[in-house]
Structure 1
Amino acid sequence: MSRAVFLFNHDAAHQVAHLAPVAGAMARLHPGVETLVAYASGAVRAQIENLIRPEDAARINWQELSLPRVIAGATRMLDKVAPATRLARLRFHLALFSSSHAVVSTERTCLRIKQRLDPDTAPLFIRVPHGTGDRSVTFHPDHRRFDLSLVAGPKMKEQLVANGVDPAKIEVTGYSKFEGIDLHARPDFFSNGRPTFVYNPHFDPHLSSWYDTGPELLRWFASEAGQAYNMIFAPHVMLFRKAIHISPEYKVGRVRPEIPEEVLAASNILIDIDGPRLFDMSYMLGADGYIGDASSQIYEFLVRPRPVFLLDPNGALGSQGETALPFLRTGERVESASGLVSALARWDAIGERYRPEQKRLIAHTFALSETPASERAANAIAAAVARREGGAPCG
């Protein structure tokens, strides 16, 4: 029997929702291929099982990517500067991957396995991107080394091809994270009738607005004037995992500012830096407007078009332009907290102005279909394995 390994090698849960539904669909639709989920921790497994049907979970073979205590202790200390534990898991469990027919992952660190294996006997390496963003790091040269990429829509396929990925190694299968989520939901976290804005800064020290402007912006929302609005502070989950962030892409390192003390008690501000709602789109669906910078979550927010404000204090986003970063066409770009505050007074009109472009870009980003994205992806994986093995897909 062929085996497809679904690799969940990240300790944070922000990538799980992009791949878990595909693993569930694979186990359900293709019993002729063993579906094995290799996971980093019990918490990650719990998150996976929370996102798939119980009967699908029962069909899956599970393997924790555990490490000997001495190795785990040493790599944890190194994780502050590099993904040492993730890389150690891959090397320690090399036999699992080498005996499989496909390795399906959301991130490119899995390619470290590929370089250690004989190309003639190595499994297929299949990528399901975690997000649909536009940043240049999304198109790392390593992506050309995947045997297959399963992307959300035409936009990402075009961008990958423009960056040298063979079109024959790309299939548009949709965005599986949307499955099981009511995209019309409007969760209300304040119950006071005021407009609510979600602030979603990235962790990259060059592109993120948090380092130069974020604390000042939160202080304004906590002030008397800011009480006219609600604020959900929902940063990228990796922002508060480290005190110092280094951007390999831009060769920049910075110390992350803390959340101001006076903000913590503000009744109109909800702060969540590591909770499960960061991953299930609750905050994106519950906000009237979005404030952000480089996070691909802007596309999840815009699945229902609404006002967008892009906070760009050092001009890092604007300098790249709308061709490189299409999301810059979806909202108002401002360079300071005071500029953002002024723009907020016109938030509804700004939303109307950008809505046509938001709808166009979202239609280009997500390929919706009556067949769920997870099933389309599972079918593509089964077909790829069958081609590799020289037979018909096992269903």
Structure 2
Amino acid sequence: MNIAFLYIAEPYQCYHGASLALALEAYAGVHVVNYYNFPETQEHLKRISRAMDAPEPEMRFLERSFSIKMHEAAKRLDRVKLMLLRQNAEELNQYDALVATEYTAGILRKLGVTRPKLILVLHGAGDRLVDDEALMRDFDFILLPGPKVEQYSLQKNLVRQGHYATVGLPRMDVCAAMQQDYPVGLFSNANPFVLYNAHCKRKLSSLQRFMPALFKGFQAQSRYNLVVAPHIKTFHKSLGMKTRFMKRYNAPTIHVDTYSDRLIDMTYTAHADIYVGDVSSQVYEFLVKPRPCVFLNPSGVNWRNNPHFLHWNLGEVVEQPEEVMPAIMRAHAVHARYRPLQEKLVKESLGDPVLGASKRGALAIMRFMKQRDG
């Protein structure tokens, strides 16, 4: 059985699929090829295989025309994805199964990729409404992270019985295998750090409204350090402008990370003392070990009883920049009231047990493929 894994976006995607690919290749007669878009993804795939004590995977850089390269240089990355899929469709059509970690791959059927079964690995376990989630219906089989997403997907008719499995988040296996060390060397003191994880989309992000208050507030106290670690996609379309803008906020007690591996390998979520964010699903990865959270509502959204903001029930929610530092300072004092729900929602979001999703997912895919052949 020949299976292709497709990483069409930034290297962070391979942390959601690589361990699943390794688990599949452990089956007799299964051959996996990893196709990637960003050159840096190759080193991340090698890093993951080493951490999981597995052979180096087979990797292929997606072929691209001169026109695609020109669009890449102009940072038209969404258009590049579609062009890459179109150019590589003939080669991808040779496989028995094609596994992707984002919805965009659902358009492959319209591009003539008819032979392989299209398999989707949902790469987040959050609550946010995603614009293109309807593309889930174009996949033959889907791996879901937990009961919460399963229930939602069934209610919206995004999945159908016999064509999905709820297995957990393979990414958690990768990060457990890596056993990231505490990020030393960022600060000259030994204070714990607060993680600020803003969403990459401007209309959803709290970065512009709340970063000045965080910058001022953390310089005026001596209890915590601050790691500013927005989603890595924040910086890939700005021709370096956002990176330069954010670096202005570096200070003795503030570290702004715009490029390191720590943005995607769970180093920060594993070791932070408090989580501050808006709508990123990384909060559930942070809460595998229950800890205080503060959520930022820059637009004054009416979030209560809205399932797309369910995680905002797991910590204090603030709407005004001047409220954020007091909320951080009392976060530990009020954490007890949020901890029971944190533990409950982590199980519903990531499954129980959290670890083992890669092997469970591989088994589910093998069963599905054999049923198809049978």
Calculate the TM-score normalised by the size of structure 2. Answer: 0.90
**Alpha-carbon distance between aligned partners in 2 of 1:145 and 1:311, rounded to the nearest angstrom:** 34
Write out aligned runs for 1:22-37 (5 A). 22-28=20-26, 30-37=27-34
Structure 1 gap ranges (5+): 245-254, 391-395
Partner of 1:310: helix, strand, or coil? strand
Partner of 2:235: 240
**Alpha-carbon distance between aligned partners in 2 of 1:191 and 1:175, rounded to the nearest angstrom:** 35
Partner of 2:349: 365
Letter in 1 for 2:8: N
State whether residues 4 and 95 of structure 2, in contact with CA within 8 Å, keep that contact through their aligned partners in structure 1.
yes
Distance 1:313 1:180, change over 3 A: closer
State whether residues 139 and 160 of structure 1, in contact with CA within 8 Å, keep that contact through their aligned partners in structure 2.
no
Letter in 1 for 2:237: K
1:258 to 234, 245, 249: 245
Partner of 1:328: 312
**Alpha-carbon distance between aligned partners in 1 of 2:39 and 2:347, rounded to the nearest angstrom:** 37
Deviation at 1:75, TM superposition (A): 2.1
Distance 1:193 1:303, change over 3 A: same
Deviation at 1:302, TM superposition (A): 0.6
Deviation at 1:256, TM superposition (A): 9.7
Partner of 1:393: none
Partner of 1:67: 64
Partner of 2:191: 194
Letter in 2 for 1:175: L
2:46 to 46, 49, 71: 49
Partner of 1:216: 213
Distance 1:320 1:112, change over 3 A: farther
Letter in 2 for 1:355: R
Letter in 2 for 1:347: A
State whether residues 5 and 33 of structure 2, in contact with CA within 8 Å, keep that contact through their aligned partners in structure 1.
yes
Asked whether 1:203 is paired with 2:200, we answer: yes
Q: Deviations over 1:200-244 (max 9, x none)?
A: 0001222210122223322322x2x23332101111111122339
Q: Deviations over 1:357-379 (max 9, x none)?
A: 10110111122349821111111
1:277 to 262, 268, 284: 262
Partner of 1:76: 72
Letter in 1 for 2:23: A
State whether residues 4 and 101 of structure 1, in contact with CA within 8 Å, keep that contact through their aligned partners in structure 2.
yes
Asked whether 1:122 is paired with 2:111, we answer: no
Deviation at 1:188, TM superposition (A): 5.4
Write out aligned runs for 1:147-226 (5 A). 147-165=140-158, 166-182=160-176, 187=182, 189=184, 190=187, 192-221=189-218, 223=219, 225-226=220-221
Letter in 1 for 2:71: T
Distance 1:43 1:129, change over 3 A: same
Asked whether 1:308 is paired with 2:304, we answer: no
Deviation at 1:112, TM superposition (A): 2.0
Structure 2 gap ranges (5+): none
Distance 1:320 1:348, change over 3 A: closer
**Alpha-carbon distance between aligned partners in 1 of 2:274 and 2:267, rounded to the nearest angstrom:** 13
Partner of 1:387: 371
Q: Deviations over 1:230-287 (max 9, x none)?
A: 101111111122339xxxxxxxxxx9992273x32x2111211121011111111111
Partner of 1:136: helix, strand, or coil? coil
Deviation at 1:193, TM superposition (A): 4.2
Partner of 1:268: 253
Letter in 1 for 2:265: D
Letter in 2 for 1:337: P
Letter in 1 for 2:313: R
Asked whether 1:93 is paired with 2:88, we answer: yes
Letter in 1 for 2:175: I
Say how many residue pairs are matched: 367
**Alpha-carbon distance between aligned partners in 2 of 1:89 and 1:139, rounded to the nearest angstrom:** 19
**Alpha-carbon distance between aligned partners in 2 of 1:188 and 1:65, rounded to the nearest angstrom:** 33
Deviation at 1:185, TM superposition (A): 7.3
Deviation at 1:170, TM superposition (A): 1.9
Distance 1:226 1:17, change over 3 A: same
